[in-house]
Amino acid sequence: MRSAQVYRWQIPMDAGVVLRDRRLKTRDGLYVCLREGEREGWGEISPLPGFSQETWEEAQSVLLAWVNNWLAGDCELPQMPSVAFGVSCALAELADTLPQAANYRAAPLCNGDPDDLILKLADMPGEKVAKVKVGLYEAVRDGMVVNLLLEAIPDLHLRLDANRAWTPLKGQQFAKYVNPDYRHRIAFLEEPCKTRDDSRAFVRETGIAIAWDESLREPDFAFVAEEGVRAVVIKPTLTGSLEKVREQVQAAHALGLTAVISSSIESSLGLTQL
């Protein structure tokens, strides 16, 4: 006997989060709970404004239609990425195939006053790896802040994310203020420029490794080994089902690339399943 429930939720963002020039005051999404006999599975569907193609209202319509089909015995996954991810997580929990624990390393997102960041990062236990958003301010300022952090903490490695914010000139301005002796401690810079060709040129000109993020969701993207490309950043909520996420991870590992599973600001349920 199958049953299902769908819940809508909204979580206020304390300070507000800026995503592509828009401030996110609340995080909105849906939970789906699937039950079959004594078993149950939960999934989160929370499209990310400014990044997901679908709104949560559109996701809700697709989810409700899928739930009705599932209750009737149809298990085919929906195509909409956020719904496919949440539903596949719920089905995996239902089948007890979602791992109970994971082996991963988290890279905390750091922002705020550079002097405060230095104190915070210097006290970080174990391997010091942190993520810093760049591209929100002037490229010169970003370069100076990154250089300051790397200079102050000799064992620090940074993952940077520009979200395609820079023109080639701004990318050069950033790199100009990062000491070449420190650049190898930039693990990678996610999508520095607006186009992949400009990002490839950034690698050649600066020696700073990059990672693909938005590119993975473009129809012409292919997994190939490229000079200076060190990682791919996979956001399951924007990607689709667990199976599609696994396929991308395997394709990356086959090329010797690091596969980073990244949050799309999910709730605690989604973050736990990630």
Active-site positions read 133, 235
- Distance of alpha carbon 42 from alpha carbon 5, whole angstroms: 10
The structure tokens listed for 104 are 């991963």
Looking only at the bridges linking them, the beta strands covering 39-45 and 109-110 are unpaired
Burial 11-39 (b: 16+ CB within 10 A, else e): eeeeeeeeeeeeebeebbbbbbbbeeeee
- Distance of alpha carbon 25 from alpha carbon 225, whole angstroms: 39
Longest dimension (CA), the chain: 64
